[in-house]
Each structure stands twice: as C-alpha cells, then as structure tokens.
Amino acid sequence: VYATDENGNRVTNESGVPQTLIEPFVPISEAGSVEYLGYKLVLPEGWAITDDSNKFINEAAGHYVTVSPINDTYENYYADQREMYDLLAEEYPNSVSWTEDVSIGAGCIKVVRFTLTVEGEMRVMYFFENSGNLYKILFESANTETLIDDSMTFCLAITYKPYKYYDVT
C-alpha cells in the first residue's frame, strides 16, 4: 500500500517516488459477508465472524470452523493426512471416514473430506486445491448430527480469488 501522511496524502522519497508499505490484508466485513485475502464468504444463516482471522462460529449449532491456506504441495499434504487416517482407521474403524471428490464449490478440485468422531466431539476437515492454492477447512463440534450438512452449506458459501498465495514446488 502507499504510505500516507496524517492528511491522507501520499509520502514520497527524495526523488518524488511514492513510498510503499507492506501491511497485512485487513478483512472487509459487510452486511452478511466477509472478504479475506484469498476468498469471500457470504455467511450462511447462523454463522458469524469471530475476533480471530479466518475463524467463524455458529453458536446455535455449536460449530466452529477455521479456513486456512496451507504452504505445502497437495501431494505431500494428501500423503500426510492419508497416513493419519490409515492409522486411526486401524485403531478406531468406526470413528473415522475418508471421502474423495467431494463437491464444495466452483474451482475446488481434488477435495477430500476426512472426519473424526471421538468422545462425542466431531472434526470434519476438507482439503483441496483452488487456483493453485492448497486450502484446509476444519470444522469442530459436539453436534455430530448436523455437522456434515452444515459444513457443506458453509463451504458452498465461499468464493475463492483467482491467484496463488504460495509458490510451492
């Protein structure tokens, strides 16, 4: 962004070139939606933003979710998560599930949904690529009956921006 003085005028160097600053993207919140660096979310009914960046809550349902870009390749992340799933499935076969090619919105490819239910708590994680980025969306709730459906509604309410966060090789 351009550096400005107390009056909002651009600050220049000795050569007259405008000075710039590197600042983190500040989420833009409007009625019923929020926009972050890589995506825009039209909040589904019952969902609200939190004070923590990229975290949302549905208090009535008892659901929490975090949306995160991951600085890794899809192949590495997939292998790590599949290894974790295989270990858990061996020890707790009725507590985990792995579903591939889940449809969660435009541009989301290679989507995997990995669920874990332990002691009445459920975690539902989606990971996928969109515009060359790897994303993870992690839902947590004690309300295991509605979490899968509610997570799908939430995921379908996200529109991703068409550029890359990280140059991962």
- Per-residue pLDDT tens listing for the chain (169 residues): 788 888 888 899 989 898 887 766 667 788 899 998 889 999 999 999 998 989 999 999 999 999 999 999 999 999 999 999 999 999 999 999 999 999 999 999 999 999 999 999 999 999 999 999 999 999 999 999 999 999 999 999 999 999 887 776 5
Q: For 70-76, which contacts have Cβ atoms below 8 Å and span 24 or more sequence positions?
A: 70/127, 70/134, 70/135, 70/136, 71/134, 71/165, 71/166, 71/168, 72/134, 72/168, 73/134, 73/168, 73/169, 74/110, 74/127, 74/129, 74/134
Q: pLDDT at position 8, please?
A: 85
If phi > 0 it is left, if psi is from -120 to 50 it is alpha, else beta; for residue 52 that is beta
Dig out the tokens for 72 from the structure: 């890794």
Q: pLDDT at position 164, please?
A: 83
C-alpha dihedral, 26 to 29 to 30 to 32, nearest 10°? 150
Predicted TM-score (pTM) of this structure: 0.84
Are 31 and 48 in contact by the 8 Å Cβ rule? The answer is no
Q: pLDDT at position 25, please?
A: 62
Q: Which of 103, 112, 102 is nearest to 74 (CA)?
A: 112
Q: pLDDT at position 3, please?
A: 84
